[in-house]
Structure 1
Amino acid sequence: MQTSEESGQPLVFFDLETTGLGQSCEIVQLAAVSGGHSLNLYVVPRCRMQRGAAKVTGFRVRRQRLYLHRQLVPTNSLREVLVSFIAFLHMLGRPLVIGHNIRRFDCPVLARALDELDLRAEFESSVSGCVDTLPLAREMLKDHGLQSFRQENLVRELLGVNYKAHDALEDVRALQALYSVLQPTPELICRHKFTLDTMENKAAAKPKGPCRLPEQRPLWEHFRQTVKVTESKAEDHDGELHGLLM
């Protein structure tokens, strides 16, 4: 499990790939990682993939099947993906959810999907809050002369490596490594902390009190019982459930 060294706060790094960048875009891939635990699930979207998004991510939908770089991938319903994500968070003991540019994009998309399926309350009770590493990095690295605070650029500048961006699982793995290098203080984390209810405010919500360590609750069995994988029976599928817990 990934934790903040100073506070023992459990951390989950999270990212979405979507059908586009508009307000009506839908989730295609949801990935999360915490230490050695990871979740990587796919959804066949109801709306069409925008051409620009398909070009960047490599996703295509054909006959209600999802392909990534021309390879068929196993998919779940949106409800199964969200319930699985919530169970993953429960398993880790109400962690802090961390992502890059999630306040302006990923979290609003996630909130809309949670509201549609009446799952927002379950999500909110499963986390201690969210932190966007984009404004966090801007504050921490404001005197470093960086030309861009995009995640790919930060990983290249601070870790000296390039990675496969625009794949949600690769993005969260890279962000986890980046966060370990940044090592923000608990005070800085609290200053940038927000919830789905406060994310629309321009300034991060001020914590009402000191950050408290959430209760740890190992719920592996609950997680396994919750997740239901709908794997395609297409002949060219290799049969590996790589979209589930890795």
Structure 2
Amino acid sequence: METAADSDGDEKLVFFDLETTGLGEDCEIVQLSAVSGSHTLNLYVVPGCRMQRGASRVTGFRVRRHRLFLHRQLVLTNSLREVLLSFIAFLHMLGRPLVIGHNIRRFDCPILARALDEFDLKAEFESAVSGYVDTLPLAREMLKERPGITSFRQVNLVKELVGVDYKAHDALEDVRALQSLYGVLQPTAELICRHRFTLKTMEDKPDAKAKAKAQGKPPQPGQRPLLEHFRLTRRSTERKAEERDGERNEL
């Protein structure tokens, strides 16, 4: 069996997850964790906005007097810029790995991209990775014929396929569990390639382009806010459905 740190040949894998202040597009990072084999990164940030009550209840994070607490224990924090630079250094250390996460295309990666833009670090970050794979659609494709799979939430897949329960909604525990799950799934190189994306392709709007092409005209400027509102609403709804019985921030 391949180790969780290897993919196509010698390509390294990094499993990544965020905990955030809520589920909305404007939520902020509270915890960033990554794991590759035995290498781990786990950092915390005092967010600039309030924690949503539901996110606090699920994750255990609270902010009091500009300090971050996890289950009532004070945790050491870094600035968001320091966290992003540490993540970039971690990725460089592994030699442009493939970044893998559960539901990252709809949730974690857009939040990460916005944070990178804030500090003008996106180009540097992109140079440190070879691409991204979201295990949510990957698992749906791989397990669509498998009986007994009633939910594709990560915690359910780990329990069903790995046979363990774990402390979900803690980013470090989530990435460790995902690494184990990925080792059981063992997707083929062809399947990985099909689900591979970048921050640039993630931001493309193929549905809108295809619709405009079919109508023989480009999208009108005045239509953009309505289209964006629809996409954001759909993203939030689908995320909540996936994490309904245990939202971690949400993906």
TM-score above 0.5: yes
- Closer/same/farther in 2, CA of residues 5 and 82 from structure 1, 3 Å limit: closer
- Closer/same/farther in 2, CA of residues 15 and 5 from structure 1, 3 Å limit: closer
Once the two structures are superposed, the pairs formed by residues 116-155 of structure 1 within 5 Å of their partners are 116-145=118-147, 146-155=149-158
- Distance apart, 1:46 and its partner CA: 0.4
- The answer to whether the 8 A contact 1:16-1:30 is kept is yes
Which of 87, 90, 93 lines up with 2:92 in the alignment? Answer: 90
Structure with bigger helix share is 2
Q: Which residue of 1 aligns with 2:216?
A: none
Q: Which residue of 1 aligns with 2:49?
A: 47
Q: How many residues align?
A: 203
Identity %: 79
- Distance apart, 1:9 and its partner CA: 1.1
- Closer/same/farther in 2, CA of residues 46 and 5 from structure 1, 3 Å limit: closer
Partner of 1:198, secondary structure, is helix
- 1:62 to 2:59 alignment: no
- Name the aligned partner's letter for residue 123 of structure 2: A
Q: Which residue of 2 aligns with 1:226?
A: none
Output the aligned Cα RMSD: 1.3
Q: Which residue of 2 aligns with 1:164?
A: 167
Deviating more after overlay: 124-133 vs 137-146: 137-146
CA distance in 2 between partners of 1:74 and 1:88 (Å): 19
- The answer to whether the 8 A contact 1:7-1:186 is kept is no
Which of 202, 215, 220 lines up with 1:199 in the alignment? Answer: 202
TM-score with structure 1 length normalisation?
Answer: 0.80
- Name the aligned partner's letter for residue 197 of structure 2: F
- Name the aligned partner's letter for residue 35 of structure 2: V
What are the Cα deviations for residues 41-84 of structure 1, in whole angstroms up to 9, with x where unaligned?
00000000000000000000000000000000000000000000
CA distance in 2 between partners of 1:2 and 1:74 (Å): 29
- Distance apart, 1:8 and its partner CA: 1.8
CA distance in 2 between partners of 1:119 and 1:2 (Å): 27
Gaps of 5+ in 1: 204-246
Q: Which residue of 1 aligns with 2:221?
A: none
- Distance apart, 1:200 and its partner CA: 3.5
TM-score with structure 2 length normalisation?
Answer: 0.79
Partner of 2:160, secondary structure, is helix
Q: Which residue of 2 aligns with 1:77?
A: 79
Q: Which residue of 1 aligns with 2:108?
A: 106
- Distance apart, 1:7 and its partner CA: 1.7
CA distance in 2 between partners of 1:141 and 1:202 (Å): 27
Gaps of 5+ in 2: 207-251
